[in-house]
Every structure is written in C-alpha cells, then in structure tokens.
C-alpha cells in the first residue's frame, strides 16, 4: 500500500473500485490442510461468497464478478464436478430470494448450455427475478473462459458480416467489446486471486486489459472483510496510468 495513504483515506468512496473481479481459488488446499475431502473446501467457500457479496453491497460497489467454474474445470474428477453442480443448484435455490431482497442484480456469464436443464432453469429464474434491481451487479462466471467469450463475440460479428450487415472494415474494438460478457458494466478496476497462484487461468482476458491485479495467499474459504479491505486499500494506493505518464495523471486529477 502507498505509505502516504492511511487506511482510513484508502477506503474513501472516491478510491473504491467500481468493479471487483475475483478468482476464488484454494478450496481444495483448504480442505486438504484439514484432512477433509476437496469438496468440503467448496462447501466452506460458499460462506466466503456470502461475506464478499454482503461487503460489496454494503460499500456500494457497482459490480462484483466471481469465477465459480472455468471451462477447464470439467477436467476434474467426475465426483468433484458433480458436487460443484449440486452446490450451484442448492446455493441458487437458497440465496436468490435474499439477494433479490437486497436489491442485487444477478447474472451468470459463460456457456450455460453445458449444464443440466434444471440448473439452466435456476440460472434463468435468478436472472429474471433480479433483473430490475439496481443495487450490486453480481455476475457469476460458470463454464466461463475468456477465450470462449472472445470467440462467441467474434462469431456473432462474423455472422453479421456473412449476412451482409457489416463490412470487415467496420469491425472495430468497440463493436467486439459490445458483444463481450459484462459489456454494460464498467471494466473491472480490481482483480483479486486468492490461493497464492499468480495467473489468470482463462478468466476475463479482454476485460482485464487495464485492471489492477492483486494476489493473496489467503485460501478462498478464509477470505473475509479484512482481506478484501486490504486488497481495496492496496488498489487505492496505486496510480492507474492507462498509457499516460505519472505526471500527466497527477495533472489531470489536480485539474478535476
Ligand atoms: C477453486 O478452488 C474452486 C474451483 C475451481 C471450482 P480449487 O478447487 O481450485 O482449490 P485448489 O486450487 O485445488 O486448492
Ligand atoms: C480457476 O481456478 C477457476 C476458478 C476459480 C473457478 P483453477 O484452480 O481451476 O485454476 P488453475 O487450474 O490452478 O490454473
Ligand atoms: Mg485451484
């Protein structure tokens, strides 16, 4: 953290990230440390999800995006995958109403066609129920891959070209971006990965282009308000330059 910023100022609304994206990693190791099956870690991880959502809603954060299941996680033992699917279903059933009461707008990003119909219906229902809420935008990435996201957007633009509605010369970054997941939200300001690994693992590849990255060794089931506040304070102490020089950024903020 920047030494000039005390932790009190660091949490000033002005320096709060508008959009936080998290890779919730370390469930398996958390369980292993306790000589429990990996799936016990996934169950324990639900508590950390609840704490994180509540914290972000309370702080007035605009958007929270959580990586719950990657397009590569199907490679795991079948039993673990099926416990995870059961957990999604149960959590959606149990938590959606409460999220709705708290004005949370929920969506699921990723290729949901791979999920069993019952789970797809639950996902649709949760989105429908919370569609008109204007509080925290909670996005759950499930069977999500950053490469999938870019590919599905490209495929839709290719279709427009094939239909003669778009010429290749008019294919711009903005047009592609508009078709990516989360296009209607501010880009993630702060990315957090728990569990100590320092990689993106095919999460939001396009959307993270200018996101501040924060890695913590804390295992996901142990993630709490304190760890999240630390990440936000660290973020608040950084200078985001977007290609400008540091002096230019200072001048711009002084003239505001
Ligand atoms: C993250 O925890 C949860 C999912 C990927 C679904 P892991 O299950 O990857 O935990 P570790 O990395 O094995 O500890
Ligand atoms: C990334 O974690 C996916 C989720 C947290 C859902 P992984 O544990 O699957 O990532 P790798 O395999 O270690 O890169
Ligand atoms: Mg992992």
pLDDT of 2: 41
Instruction: Produce one character per residue of 169-187: b if its CB has 16 or more CB atoms within 10 Å, e if not.
Output: eeeeeeebeebbbbeebeb
72 DSSP 8-state letter: T
Is residue 17 a contact partner of residue 245, using CB atoms and an 8 Å limit? Answer: no
CATH number of the domain within which 109 lies: 3.40.1180.10
Question: Is residue 102 included in any domain, yes or no?
Answer: yes
DSSP 42-62: HHHHHHHHHHHHHHHHHHT-S
Instruction: Among 52, 201, 215, say which to mutate for ligand 2: greatest number of ligand atoms within 8 Å of CB.
Output: 201
Cβ 88 under 6 angstroms from ligand 2: no
∠ at Cα 42 (40, 48), nearest 5°? 115
Total domains present in the chain: 1
Question: Is residue 3 included in any domain, yes or no?
Answer: no
Strand partners, 69: 142
17-74 pLDDT per residue, tens: 999 999 999 999 999 999 999 999 999 999 999 999 999 999 999 999 999 999 999 9
Question: Is residue 56 included in any domain, yes or no?
Answer: yes
Ligand lying closest to the C-alpha of residue 141: 2
Helical segments of 70-215, H only: 78-101, 117-130, 146-162, 173-178
Cβ 197 under 6 angstroms from ligand 2: yes
User: Which of ligand 2's atoms lies nearest the C-alpha of 68?
Assistant: 6
∠ at Cα 113 (110, 119), nearest 5°? 90
103 CA distance to ligand 2 centroid (A)? Answer: 30
Question: Is residue 94 included in any domain, yes or no?
Answer: yes
**Band of the pLDDT at 256, cuts 50, 70, 90?**
confident
159 closest CA partner among 177, 179, 184: 179
pLDDT of 110: 98
Element holding 170 (H helix, E strand): none
Query: Residue 241 pLDDT > 90, yes or no?
Result: yes
pTM of the model: 0.95
pLDDT of 124: 98
> Ligand 1: which residues within 6 Å by Cβ?
24-29, 69, 73, 84, 195, 220
145 CA distance to ligand 3 centroid (A)? Answer: 15
Cβ 70 under 6 angstroms from ligand 2: yes
Question: Is residue 197 included in any domain, yes or no?
Answer: yes
91 CA distance to ligand 3 centroid (A)? Answer: 20
Instruction: Among 22, 24, 26, say which to mutate for ligand 1: greatest number of ligand atoms within 8 Å of CB.
Output: 26
Question: Is residue 9 included in any domain, yes or no?
Answer: no
25 CA distance to ligand 3 centroid (A)? Answer: 5
User: What are the C-alpha distances in Å from 209 to residues 147, 166, 172, 204, 212?
Assistant: 14, 26, 16, 9, 9
Residues serving a catalytic function are 25, 73
168-198 pLDDT per residue, tens: 999 999 999 999 999 999 999 999 999 999 9
Element holding 77 (H helix, E strand): none
Considering only CA atoms, which residue is closest to atom 12 of ligand 2?
A: 201
* Full residue range of the structural domain in which residue 36 is found: 16-254
Question: Is residue 80 included in any domain, yes or no?
Answer: yes
Instruction: Among 48, 70, 202, say which to mutate for ligand 2: greatest number of ligand atoms within 8 Å of CB.
Output: 70
Question: Is residue 73 included in any domain, yes or no?
Answer: yes
Task: Report the chain's mean pLDDT, rounded to a whole number.
Answer: 95
User: Which of ligand 1's atoms lies nearest the C-alpha of 23?
Assistant: 1
């Amino acid at each position: 953290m920047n030494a000039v910023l005390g932790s009190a100022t660091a949490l000033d609304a002005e320096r709060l990230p508008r959009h936080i994206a998290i890779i919730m990693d370390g469930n398996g190791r958390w369980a292993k440390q306790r000589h429990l099956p990996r799936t016990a870690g996934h169950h324990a991880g639900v508590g950390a999800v609840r704490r994180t959502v509540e914290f972000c809603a309370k702080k007035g954060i605009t958007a929270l995006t959580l990586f719950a299941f990657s397009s590569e996680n199907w490679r795991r033992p079948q039993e673990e995958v099926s416990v995870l699917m059961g957990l999604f279903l149960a959590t959606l059933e149990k938590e959606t109403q409460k999220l709705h009461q708290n004005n949370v707008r929920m969506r699921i990003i990723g290729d949901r066609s791979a999920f069993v119909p019952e789970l797809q219906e639950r996902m649709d229902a949760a989105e429908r129920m919370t569609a008109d809420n204007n509080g925290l935008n909670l996005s759950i990435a499930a069977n999500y891959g950053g490469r999938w996201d870019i590919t599905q957007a490209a495929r839709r633009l290719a279709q427009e070209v094939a239909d003669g509605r778009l010429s290749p010369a008019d294919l711009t970054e903005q047009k592609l971006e508009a078709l990516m997941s989360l296009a209607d939200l501010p880009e993630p300001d702060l990315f957090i990965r728990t569990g100590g690994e320092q990689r993106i693992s095919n999460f939001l590849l396009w959307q993270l282009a200018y996101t501040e990255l924060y890695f913590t060794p804390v295992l996901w089931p142990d993630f709490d308000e304190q760890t999240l506040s630390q990440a936000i304070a660290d973020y608040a102490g950084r200078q985001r330059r977007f290609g400008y020089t540091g002096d230019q950024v200072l001048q711009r903020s002084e003239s505001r």
